Amino acid sequence: MSEDKENETSLTPEQRLDIIENKVGKNRIILWSVALFLVILISASITALLIFSFSGQTAPASEYSDATTHTLEGQAELLEQYDIRLAELSSMLKVYDLRIQNNANSTIQKILIEQEQAKQSFMETVRASIYDLAHMVPGSRSWLELYSEQLDTAAANSQQRIEQLKLLNSTESVGENDPFFEEEF
């Protein structure tokens, strides 16, 4: 015991610091190893749980024995059950179609179309006021020409956006000249 005290006192502070740093480095490696092991264990557990929970679900055809499916009566019974299931799925499909038609996207689409139409109406009002102003103020014809071109461009872009909004309910794809993706609206 006295030798340990002598060794400790004979070590310089740099040597003590090196010993402590070596221990910290080893501890860090051990902690990373434990963390990696825990991550692997958790992911394996989750995977096993998912496989276990989904393994209980079987297809409807697997409920029947081979002897039943090979007989004519078994085939008729299967056909009746498939018809019942088809009717259930068809009714569910109708419900989903109604939900799709009445969802918020169509409402938002209608609002956006109304906004674009309001913008076009506003631009027509601006066009009329510029025309009237050009006739009232001498030398302002250049305003009419300059702003008419800009209003024509904005109205054309607005009309394209309306057309693209109307295409959202159809199965057509959006073209490359989509006004939603232009730099200017």
Q: At 129, is the secondary structure helix, strand, or coil?
A: helix
Q: What is the mean pLDDT of residues 130-136?
A: 84
Q: What is the mean pLDDT of the chain?
A: 79
Q: At 140, is the secondary structure helix, strand, or coil?
A: coil
Residue 70 has pLDDT above 50, yes or no: yes
Neighbours of 116 (CB within 10 A): 21
Domain spans, the chain: 2-55, 73-102, 104-181
pLDDT tens digits for range 153-171: 999 999 999 888 888 765 4
pLDDT tens digits for range 115-127: 999 999 999 998 8
Cα 60 to Cα 116: distance, rounded to the nearest angstrom: 51
Task: Give the residue with greater pLDDT, 37 vs 78.
Answer: 37
Residue 185 has pLDDT above 50, yes or no: no
Residue 6 has pLDDT above 60, yes or no: no
This model's pTM is above 0.85: no
DSSP state of 154: H
Instruction: Give burial (CB, 10 Å; 0-12/13-18/19+) of 120.
Output: middle
Residue found by looking up tokens 């993706």 in the block: 181
What pLDDT is recorded for position 179?
52
Task: Give the residue with greater pLDDT, 44 vs 25.
Answer: 44
